[in-house]
């Protein structure tokens, strides 16, 4: 089904109560009232950035186009921590899964419980948390039929961050929920970044330790080789010293023998002269 792009209402219309009546599908009406003033803290008053990377992505999942329109109307001029809101729209659980798969930086999901079937929204929660393993995105379930899906059962069984009845969401409550959700998402992002930095540092330390071990092993091997080389040279030197001593001793013995023979020859010559 082709969806018309969201068109902001005139300022006079924005100040009126926004309501959506029951239809034949059995969905309850959604009422977003704009009669409550919202006070913004300084961090929400910062000048928004137009860079798409400096935005908060919010996914609206509901099979009723009017829900998308009134939600965007209530939040279209809102910014948090200097970042504008960017809205993505899905009109079924399956469409929501596709968008979430393509956009892993969605900060918040407003998720209808009952769409193409009674558990469509819950299937999306399971897909996000268990299949994709995305624990960062903040998920707010919205239902127009609270009696069909008990809140306590949903909160205990599914990893969601809030469960709201559509008729209870005034503009102020909607803004408050967005602020708390985005703040929580931002905090989790910082925690994940810190964990990633610690893992990176741990990996670098492990690599450095491995290199040091490799260097120490190489150094030890070189020391062993050098020691063995010195021992071999020392052994060779000892052999040479022993050989020199043997030669010197042999020379001394030969000299003694020569001296004895010389003396004997001298005595023989003297005896002959007589």
224 within some domain: no
**Lowest mean pLDDT segment, chosen from 17-21, 110-114, 221-225:** 17-21
47 within some domain: yes
pLDDT band with cut points at 50, 70 and 90 for residue 81 = very high
As a whole number of angstroms, the distance between CA 166 and CA 168 comes to 5
More confident: 266 or 168: 168
State whether residue 32 is helix, strand or coil. strand
pLDDT of 144-184, one tens digit each? 877 776 788 888 899 999 998 888 778 899 999 999 999 99
Q: What is the pTM of this model?
A: 0.60
97 within some domain: yes
Q: What value does the mean pLDDT take over residues 207-235?
A: 89
Of 80, 53, 39, 63, give the one whose Cα is nearest residue 181.
Answer: 80
130 within some domain: yes
100 within some domain: yes
**Lowest mean pLDDT segment, chosen from 19-23, 57-61, 121-125:** 19-23
More confident: 100 or 30: 100
More confident: 44 or 105: 105
State whether residue 30 is helix, strand or coil. strand
264 within some domain: no
Gyration radius (Cα) of the chain, Å: 45
Tally the domains of the chain. 1
Structural domain for 73, as ranges: 11-197
As a whole number of angstroms, the distance between CA 68 and CA 111 comes to 11
Determine what percent of the chain is predicted with pLDDT higher than 70: 77
Question: 159-164: long-range contacts at Cβ-Cβ below 8 A with a sequence spacing of 24 or more?
Answer: 159/125, 159/129, 159/135, 160/125, 164/140
The mean pLDDT of the chain is 80
Any idea what the CATH number is for the domain that residue 41 is in? 3.40.50.2300
Bridge partners of 20?
A: 30
* In the predicted structure, residue 11 carries a pLDDT above the cut 60: no
238 within some domain: no
As a whole number of angstroms, the distance between CA 180 and CA 219 comes to 58
pLDDT of 139-154, one tens digit each? 999 988 777 767 888 8
Amino acid 19: pLDDT: 39
As a whole number of angstroms, the distance between CA 27 and CA 41 comes to 35
């Amino acid at each position: 089904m082709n969806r018309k792009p969201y068109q902001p209402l005139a300022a006079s219309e924005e100040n009126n109560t926004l309501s959506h009546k029951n239809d034949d599908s059995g969905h309850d009406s959604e009422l977003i009232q704009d009669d409550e003033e919202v006070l913004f803290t300084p961090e929400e008053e910062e000048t928004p950035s137009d860079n798409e990377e400096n935005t908060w992505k919010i996914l609206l999942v509901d099979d009723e186009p009017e829900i998308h329109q009134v939600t965007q109307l209530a939040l279209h001029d809102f910014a948090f921590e200097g970042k504008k809101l960017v809205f993505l729209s899905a009109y079924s659980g399956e469409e929501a899964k596709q968008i979430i798969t393509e956009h892993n930086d969605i900060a918040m999901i407003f998720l209808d419980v009952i769409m193409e079937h009674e558990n469509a929204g819950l299937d999306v929660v399971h897909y996000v948390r268990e299949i994709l393993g995305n624990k960062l995105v903040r998920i707010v379930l919205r239902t127009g039929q609270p009696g069909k899906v008990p809140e306590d059962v949903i909160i205990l069984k599914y990893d969601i961050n809030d469960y709201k009845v559509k008729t209870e969401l005034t503009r102020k409550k909607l803004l408050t929920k967005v602020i708390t959700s985005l703040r929580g998402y931002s905090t989790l992002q910082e925690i994940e970044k810190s964990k990633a930095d610690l893992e990176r540092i741990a990996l670098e330390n492990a690599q450095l330790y491995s290199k040091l071990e490799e260097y120490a092993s190489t150094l030890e091997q070189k020391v062993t080789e050098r020691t063995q080389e010195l021992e071999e040279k020392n052994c060779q030197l000892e052999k040479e010293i022993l050989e020199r001593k043997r030669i010197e001793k042999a020379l001394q013995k030969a000299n003694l023998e020569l001296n004895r023979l010389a003396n004997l020859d001298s005595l023989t010559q003297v005896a002959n002269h007589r």
